[in-house]
Amino acid sequence: MRVCSDCGLEIPEFSLFCPYCGKQFPAPEKGSCLYSCEIQTENGLKELSVMYGDITEMTFPIDLLGISAYSYSYAPAPRTLIRALEEKYGIQVSELARRPPFDLREKAGCWMSEELPEELPIRRIACTEMVSYSNRDTERSDPALLLPRIAAYFSLLDIASYMGVPIEVTVLPLFGMGRQKISSSLLTVPLVNETVAFLKRNRSVKKLIYMDLNLERITRFAMQLSNSLQLMQIQERQSRTNQAKEPFVFISYSSADLDKALLLDRLLEKHRIAHWYAKQGMQPGLYSTQIVKNIQRCTHFICLISHKAMTSYHVLNELNLAFDRLRDGVVMVPYFIEECELEPAFQYYLSTIEWVKGTPPPMEARMENFIQTMFGT
């Protein structure tokens, strides 16, 4: 947090104005670092930064530069990174896309170029193709398409790294949030989650930088990233504390998803992990009492996320109770049993919490793997 010099009240770190007295703060200069942190991993410290400015004006060598484009469309349109690369360095993305050595476009919408000439400050380019131009109006709001594309992009970087491609310094834009007009509210949380997971597992990357020319957009992303990392650190500490306790799991779900709750119940029982969920047909008075009692008791709160769950008043109430216990050591796990975008009320509670993807099928195998990973069974 920072303090407004006029009214003396605390305001968010990245605010461009004071929400209390209206004081305007000077906009950062292009090339400024808005946020930077170190992430401890099994492969050493990794640096994650957010910068405001023009990617083509970077003054240090870049091993890998990320770009985004419409599917199989690489025209250098005005005010795009593809256009800037051609004007600044003579890099023609359309030529690089003809026969890339790493090509996952057909299944995953991403590819990586061959190595660029030595005199350029960029060694390779990796492109994600989030949506097609012809279907952009529907695809840009489809989480079932977009979220796997984000995961696939970082998997592409893993594959290339495993094959010996240097990616020590990686610079990425805010994919799809510019000319493709994909909502930042849809992409930011999964982008943050995938970024942190990538830094933790990949051995080669040392520094990852997000950069954008739109000050409002990059500032909002920096704030979201900062909040997410702080909460992740709290949860990691809580997880270490909870390892010394016998786990007790509370399962939150919509009655429409009873079959998924029963599957999780059966698998937890198989691994002898104590748990509780609201069984169908409970008396109303007993139901509410048991809900509160078991949320207060639990070490892990698993919420099965679906379209129906996000219309459930009971699930939202349970989230609210569990959210208040985060600092007590409760580990909250949003477990997506469907591809869906969080509704605003759910974003409030879960936007900065790392979620688990339980799709696509087979769901039982994915849930089994999740339990083994979470509880070390």
Phi-psi region of 168 (alpha: psi -120 to 50; beta: other; left: phi over 0): alpha
Give the model's pLDDT for residue 136: 86
Read off the tokens for 313.
């008043």
Q: Does one domain contain both 119 and 206?
A: yes
- Structurally, the chain folds into a number of domains equal to 2
Read off the tokens for 269.
């029982």
Q: Does one domain contain both 292 and 268?
A: yes
Phi-psi region of 250 (alpha: psi -120 to 50; beta: other; left: phi over 0): beta
Give the model's pLDDT for residue 14: 66
Q: Does one domain contain both 100 and 170?
A: yes
Instruction: Look at strands 331-336 and 10-11 and give their pairing.
Output: unpaired
Dist. CA 153–CA 165, nearest whole Å: 15
Range of the domain at 340: 246-375
Q: Does one domain contain both 252 and 196?
A: no
Q: Does one domain contain both 174 and 204?
A: yes
Looking at 239, 267, 298, the residue that finishes a domain is: 239
Q: Does one domain contain both 100 and 22?
A: yes
Q: Does one domain contain both 287 and 162?
A: no
In a domain, 133, yes or no: yes
Phi-psi region of 164 (alpha: psi -120 to 50; beta: other; left: phi over 0): left
Q: Does one domain contain both 257 and 128?
A: no
Whether 171 and 207 have beta carbons less than 8 Å apart is answered as no
Looking at 213, 239, 265, the residue that finishes a domain is: 239
Nearest Cα residue to 48 out of 165, 171, 151 = 171
Any bridge partners for residue 250, and if so which? 276, 301
Give the model's pLDDT for residue 236: 66
Distance between terminal CA atoms of the chain? 40
Q: What is the CATH number of the domain that holds 27?
A: 3.40.220.10
Q: Does one domain contain both 313 and 363?
A: yes
Q: What is the CATH number of the domain that holds 321?
A: 3.40.50.10140
Looking at 177, 205, 239, the residue that finishes a domain is: 239
Nearest Cα residue to 189 out of 350, 360, 14, 359 = 350
In a domain, 106, yes or no: yes
Dist. CA 12–CA 223, nearest whole Å: 8
Give the model's pLDDT for residue 157: 96
Rg (CA), the chain: 22
Read off the tokens for 3.
């303090």
In tens digits, the chain (377 residues) has pLDDT values of 678 888 887 776 666 767 677 777 788 888 888 888 888 888 899 999 999 999 999 889 999 999 999 999 999 999 899 999 999 999 999 999 999 999 999 999 999 999 999 999 999 999 999 898 898 888 888 877 888 899 999 999 999 999 999 999 999 999 988 888 888 777 887 888 899 889 999 999 999 999 999 998 898 888 888 877 777 776 666 666 655 578 999 999 999 999 999 999 999 999 999 999 988 666 656 778 899 999 999 999 999 999 999 999 899 999 989 988 887 778 899 999 998 888 888 887 887 787 888 888 889 999 999 999 888 87
pTM over 0.75: no
